Amino acid sequence: MKHDIQLMVNGDSYSLAIDPSRTLNQVLREDLNLTGTKLGCGSGDCGACTVIVDGRSVSSCLTLAVEVDGKEILTVEGLAPSGEKLHPIQEAFIEKGAIQCGFCTPGMELSAYHLLSQNPTPSEQEIREGLSGNLCRCTGYNKIVEAISVSADRMNRKPSKRKSR
């Protein structure tokens, strides 16, 4: 029997009738066509499926979609403020070469987003701990840590105040 659920994903509202055994990852990818959220290990160990649910970082492969009924979900597709402007985390990942094959990137970026929302000025060690649930086989993590540090600096900058003449 299908269950009716309501989801707010990246600011858009969705009403779905789903099988209660389906994961959030399956619903995001297959029903909503939001394929940025990856499915890696399927057991919550790799972090490729990381999304933000009501401000918490979760593994979408382990979360049943019915568990997030009525909640707000942020995926990598919703991280950028528009289709033309990337989020500072995404910009820094590109600039610092923190993207290679790209498979882990959405989960890494959302883990970084979650970390920086909790701790806007993390140390290198805190960044590494914040990424401890995310695996990357390509980069060796140093460029990812550097990108997160750069994005933290950018996100914490105050807009300059110019005097008008």
> pLDDT tens, 64-73?
999 999 999 9
Please give the CATH superfamily to which domain 88-156 belongs.
Answer: [2Fe-2S]-binding domain (1.10.150.120)
Domain ranges of the chain: 3-77, 88-156
The 10s digit of each residue's pLDDT in 11-42 is 999 999 999 999 999 999 999 999 999 999 99
Is 3-77 assigned to CATH 3.10.20.30?
yes
pTM here? 0.91
Full 3-state SS string of the chain: CCEEEEEEECCEEEEEEECCCCEHHHHHHHHCCCCCCCCCCCCCCCCCCEEEECCEEEECCCCEHHHHCCCEEECHHHCCCCCCCCCHHHHHHHHCCCCCCCCCHHHHHHHHHHHHHHCCCCCHHHHHHHCCCCCCCCCCCHHHHHHHHHHHHHHHCCCCCCCCC
